[in-house]
Amino acid sequence: MRVAMIGSGYVGLVSGACFADFGHTVVCIDKDPSKIERLNRGEIPIYEPGLDDLVETNVRDGRLSFTQDGADAIRNADAVFIAVGTPTRRGDGHADLTYVHAAAEEIAGLIEGFTVIVTKSTVPVGTGDEVEAIIRRVNPQADFAVVSNPEFLREGAAIGDFKRPDRVVVGVNETGGDIAERARTVMSELYRPLNLNESPLLFTSRRTSELIKYAANAFLAMKITFINEMADLCEAVGADVQQVARGIGLDKRIGSKFLHAGPGYGGSCFPKDTIALVRTAQQYGAPTRLIEATVEVNDARKKAMAGRVEKILGDSVAGKTVALLGLTFKPNTDDMRDAPSLTIASALIAAGARVQAFDPEGMHEAAKLMDGVEMKDSAYDAVEGADAVVIVTEWDQFRALDLDRIKLLMNQPVMVDLRNIYRPEDIRQLGFKYRGIGRG
């Protein structure tokens, strides 16, 4: 099938490359000329394991291409995906749909023949209705259907998530009659390569599909926040949060995923999606108290992390050097959006500390956002002369550091392990002063 992907950011690029690998012909479109130039040179503008090889293979085989002018691709497409950003709107916390509406305007004047317009972007309930209304207004004669197809891609594991999904949610207009059935047929064909054993497609109403995405992210954010609060309780009563997490996670009704205590969630999805869901719920008079509390607790947690460093250094970091290992919000990505490191570094600097840091993939993005932080070339460079080292992101290379070397390089051997990647007894035997998360 012929696919036009409007937006060549994280979601659009990964989705486009994977659809091309399924055998479809995909054109990725983006208004940013520098991004398109880089992609046409074979440079991938984001870090995602395996994506460079996937893009290279499908470009070489003629199934994947990139352009700034997507008019022809949209005219010829069986399905046009909207995969543009929906950032938090300044002032009120709602999702900003400016780019979604602009994409709908562009599509409306170009579609020829029956076309399925697919909202891949994370959008509030009712956005599909708005997109449909825009296209009807601009092009009353258009033969089209608008469907919702939210993404559930984890950064660092996105290709596997796309090709081996738990589910693929597709929302269609239930009152669409024949048009809705034709849309189902197109979407089923697009995802047919996934049907080797049992189809993961879940067809719902369009509004239900839009809400599923927000509900899923809010639930996972709440689960993370829950175990973080349990971690604080463990510290107070002398329990171990990792054993608590294992003990409850073995219950199949709960499950073990997203029960890892840490400095709070960040990234491109959970922060903005929880806030957007709260605002939507308030708008419809059905407030989501649990999600409101999740947002508040998570924000407070990130701010409190610097206090842990201050406490282990005698209640003050003024004039001291702190090394941060890991800056991105999670491993295997270069995404710095709402990363806990941003809040931690800012608080430490405000308290008078000198901060030096290293991240395997996020240095370029971090440098744009972290004024006053000295970026170093390696973990060992970052800890040199430090009074404390703080593990903020659990990159694999930080799990097996030469701790004897670290100890010699530091001004004093102090470790704050915000991801619990080391065993306290091992670190203390080496002469370190150590503090983890949720270990009493």
CATH number assigned to the domain comprising residue 292: 3.40.50.720
Q: Is the pTM of this model over 0.85?
A: yes
| Judgement on whether residues 270 and 412 belong to the same structural domain of the protein | yes
Q: Is residue 38 part of a domain?
A: yes
Q: Is residue 234 part of a domain?
A: no
Expressed as residue numbers, the domain containing 61 is 2-199
Query: What is the C-alpha separation between 265 and 358, in angstroms, rounded?
Result: 20
Q: Is residue 219 part of a domain?
A: no
Q: Is residue 229 part of a domain?
A: no
Whether residue 177 has pLDDT greater than 90: no
pLDDT (tens digit per residue) in 212-222 = 999 999 999 99
pLDDT (tens digit per residue) in 244-302 = 999 999 999 999 999 999 999 999 899 999 999 999 999 999 999 999 999 999 999 99
pLDDT (tens digit per residue) in 61-107 = 999 999 999 999 999 999 999 999 999 888 888 999 999 999 999 99
Q: Decide: 227 and 220 in contact? Cβ < 8 Å.
A: no
Q: Is residue 217 part of a domain?
A: no
Q: Is residue 218 part of a domain?
A: no
Please, what is the Cα angle at 127 between 126 and 131, to 5 degrees?
Answer: 125
| Number of domains into which the chain is organized | 2
Instruction: Specify which residues 222 forms β-bridges with.
Output: none
Whether residue 197 has pLDDT greater than 70: no
Phi, psi of 141 (to 5 degrees): -90, 0
- 3-state class of 388 per DSSP? strand
| Judgement on whether residues 386 and 253 belong to the same structural domain of the protein | yes
Whether residue 12 has pLDDT greater than 70: yes
Residue for token pair 């175990």? 227
Query: What is the C-alpha separation between 65 and 26, in angstroms, rounded?
Result: 7
Task: Round to the nearest angstrom and report the end-to-end CA distance of the chain.
Answer: 57
Please identify, among 199, 232, 265, the residue that sits at the C-terminal boundary of a domain. Answer: 199
Nearest to 51 by CA among 84, 83, 20: 20
- Share the mean pLDDT of the chain: 96
| Judgement on whether residues 168 and 34 belong to the same structural domain of the protein | yes
Look up residue 256 and give its amino acid. S
| Judgement on whether residues 268 and 331 belong to the same structural domain of the protein | yes
| Judgement on whether residues 289 and 350 belong to the same structural domain of the protein | yes
| Judgement on whether residues 193 and 325 belong to the same structural domain of the protein | no
In Å, how far are 32, 78, 163 from 375, measured between CA atoms?
Answer: 28, 47, 36
| Judgement on whether residues 246 and 170 belong to the same structural domain of the protein | no
How confident is the model at residue 43, as a pLDDT? Answer: 95
Residue for token pair 């983006």? 30
Whether residue 223 has pLDDT greater than 90: yes
Q: Decide: 375 and 363 in contact? Cβ < 8 Å.
A: yes
| Judgement on whether residues 279 and 141 belong to the same structural domain of the protein | no
Kindly list the catalytic residues: 269
The DSSP bridge pattern shows strands 2-6 and 433-435 to be unpaired
Q: Is residue 226 part of a domain?
A: no
Q: Is residue 119 part of a domain?
A: yes
Type and span of the H or E element at 285: none
| Judgement on whether residues 195 and 260 belong to the same structural domain of the protein | no
| Judgement on whether residues 172 and 296 belong to the same structural domain of the protein | no
Please identify, among 177, 199, 221, the residue that sits at the C-terminal boundary of a domain. Answer: 199
Please tell me the number of Cα atoms within 13 Å of 127 on its side-chain side: 33
Please identify, among 199, 226, 253, the residue that sits at the C-terminal boundary of a domain. Answer: 199
Task: Read off the tokens for 221.
Answer: 């954010």
| Judgement on whether residues 262 and 393 belong to the same structural domain of the protein | yes
In Å, how far are 56, 207, 276 from 127, measured between CA atoms?
Answer: 34, 8, 13
Nearest to 326 by CA among 262, 274, 235: 262
How confident is the model at residue 195, as a pLDDT? Answer: 82
Nearest to 333 by CA among 393, 416, 249, 256: 393
| Judgement on whether residues 299 and 380 belong to the same structural domain of the protein | yes
Helices (H), 46-108: 51-60, 71-76, 98-108
E strand spans, 20-69: 25-29, 64-67
Other CB atoms within a 10 A radius of the CB of residue 109 amount to: 13
